[in-house]
Amino acid sequence: MRRIVSIQPLGGFRLRLVYDGGIADVDFSQSIGKGGVCTPMADPAFFGQFFIGEGGRSLEWPGDIGFCSDALWFEAHPEDFAAYLQGIDEHRSAPVPS
């Protein structure tokens, strides 16, 4: 689907992801607050080490921390996710060609 082409810090744990077809502002505070693999991201110096993964398909940090570009887009644009799911449902209910 969409590929990340650049990233702009917005302050705190928020990033503006510039995609090949739009912009998504994402706040990572909740992910960081859950702990686990995201725990190192609570350090602002570590958080600032983000980079775009191969082909723009992910947003990553050192230590194999990564987020799918599509999932981040859908988080910022829930209406697109609803349309995507509707498309899947329509595809599943379409008659199978014989």
pTM above 0.85, yes or no: no
Tens digit of each residue's pLDDT (9 = 90 or more) over 13-55:
999 999 999 999 999 999 999 989 999 999 999 999 999 999 9
Domain ranges of the chain: 4-93
Q: What are phi and psi of 87, to 5 degrees?
A: -65, -40
Q: What is the CATH number of domain 4-93?
A: 3.30.2020.10
Greater confidence (64 vs 90) lies with 64
Distance between CA 40 and CA 54 in Å, rounded? 22
